[in-house]
Amino acid sequence: MTSRTLPRLLQAPAVLLLLVWMLVPLGMTLFFSFIRYVLNSLRRPEWTTPSLDNWRGWGNYEYVLYQAKDFWFAVQNSLFIVGSVIVLTVGLGLAIAVLVNRAFPGRGIVRVMLISPFFVMPAVNAVLWINMILDPVLGLNGLAVEGLNSLVTSLQTMPLLGGFFSLWPEFEPLSFRATQTSAIAVIIMVAWQWTPFAVLIFMTSLQSEDQQQKEAAILDGANAWSQFRNLTLPHLARPIAIVVMIQAIFHLSLYAEIEIVSRGNGNKNLPYLIGEFASNNIGAASATGIMAVVLANIVAIFLLRIIGKSLMD
């Protein structure tokens, strides 16, 4: 089979590099996950060097699953964040793509503005949102609520309606630094960044929609909603699948946003939990890592089943 030699040779560097990239760290992680391995231990200094003598079997996994209480919370939170972001971006993306699908004055500029968030560095995205926009005191969130309160206070001095406004409570700005609200902050900023991606892809796909079919539907008296449901949505099935898949790939390993928004307040996803363990307990971090790999692969298999086939045609 000499005819296969050249293609194999051409693929070899890429395949080998990725194989090494996957197997060496993964192999080491697998090994560490079965031994006792900590970075600092005064009591048991022998645990600070990775060695087969410190074999622990499934001990690290049992510790992570049963004793360290955060594992299931982190899994749940990972899926919550990924799921919410996907729903938001696909929903908003569809609406915006349909909205800008027709020509109107300044469409080019609108498109450029809409797409910009996608190019912003995730670290900048997080810093920008949590400090300058969502901060309950100094951010726009805090300033807006403060402004609203002072408006209400000044309205209370009005002659007739003043009595009505004095019944209003003082508004409290929402803080995004608690466990649950900071997960929402993460969802907002990631959705802000990735909605443009969905818009871009749906917009391109809409341009290839069959216009004759649409006109026929209009002649048949189909309203806008049923046109969207019965023609546009099926046409967008594949782009939607792609948006979902790519986002799942990227968001399952979300880290910068979580770290910047939620340092130490309990909001965590799996990668962040691994990072926390890794500050000392490498064994537990590795066990969590292996389980994260398993989770990612379950999601991957599921997604590739759905769209893998159509991608190859």
Partner 1 sequence: MNQKTIFARFIRPSLAWGVAILFFFPIFWMVFTSFKTDADAVKPEYLFLFTPTFENYVNMTENYDYWRFAVNSVITSVFATVLTLVVGVPAAYAMAFDPGRHTKDILVWMLSTKMLPAAAVLYPMTFLTKNFLGIFDTHFLIIIVLSLINLPIVIWMLFTYFKEIPKEIIEAGKMDGVNIWGEIKDIVLPLAWGGLASTALLCFIFCWNEAYWTVRLTTTEAATLSKLIEGNRAPEGLFFGRLSAVSTAAVGPIVVLGWFCQKQLVRGLTFGAVK
Q: Which is nearer to partner 1, 159 or 264 (CB)?
A: 264
Q: Which is nearer to partner 1, 84 or 195 (CB)?
A: 195
Q: Which is nearer to partner 1, 183 or 189 (CB)?
A: 189
- 282 vs 275: CA distance, rounded Å: 10
Residue 21 interacts with partner 1 (CB under 8 A)?
yes
Q: Which is nearer to partner 1, 47 or 192 (CB)?
A: 192
Is residue 173 a contact partner of residue 137, using CB atoms and an 8 Å limit?
yes
- 191 vs 198: CA distance, rounded Å: 10
Angle at Cα 45 formed by Cα 25 and Cα 286, nearest 5°? 25
Residue 40 interacts with partner 1 (CB under 8 A)?
no
Hey, what are 270's tokens? Answer: 């799996």
Residue 222 interacts with partner 1 (CB under 8 A)?
no
Q: Which is nearer to partner 1, 111 or 155 (CB)?
A: 111
Q: Which is nearer to partner 1, 27 or 162 (CB)?
A: 27
- 6 vs 304: CA distance, rounded Å: 29
Pick out residues in 188-217 that bind partner 1 (CB under 8 A): 192, 195-197, 200-201, 204-205, 208
Binds partner 1 by CB under 8 A, chosen from 124, 161, 216, 306: 124
Residue 14 interacts with partner 1 (CB under 8 A)?
yes
Mapped onto helix, strand or coil, the DSSP state of residue 204 is helix
Residue 252 interacts with partner 1 (CB under 8 A)?
yes
Pick out residues in 45-84 that bind partner 1 (CB under 8 A): none
Q: Which is nearer to partner 1, 38 or 155 (CB)?
A: 38
Look at the chain and count its residues: 313
Query: Locate tokens 């691994």: which residue?
Result: 274
Binds partner 1 by CB under 8 A, chosen from 151, 161, 233, 249: 249
- To the nearest 10°, the Cα dihedral for 50, 51, 52, 55? -50
Residue 225 interacts with partner 1 (CB under 8 A)?
no
Only one of the segments 6-14, 40-48, 53-61, 153-161 lies at the binding site for partner 1 (rule: CB under 8 A); that segment is 6-14
First to last CA, the chain: 26
Binds partner 1 by CB under 8 A, chosen from 74, 244, 274, 284: 274
Amino acid at 25: P
Residue 221 interacts with partner 1 (CB under 8 A)?
no
- 216 vs 210: CA distance, rounded Å: 10
**What are the helix (H) ranges across 33-121?**
59-62, 70-99, 107-115
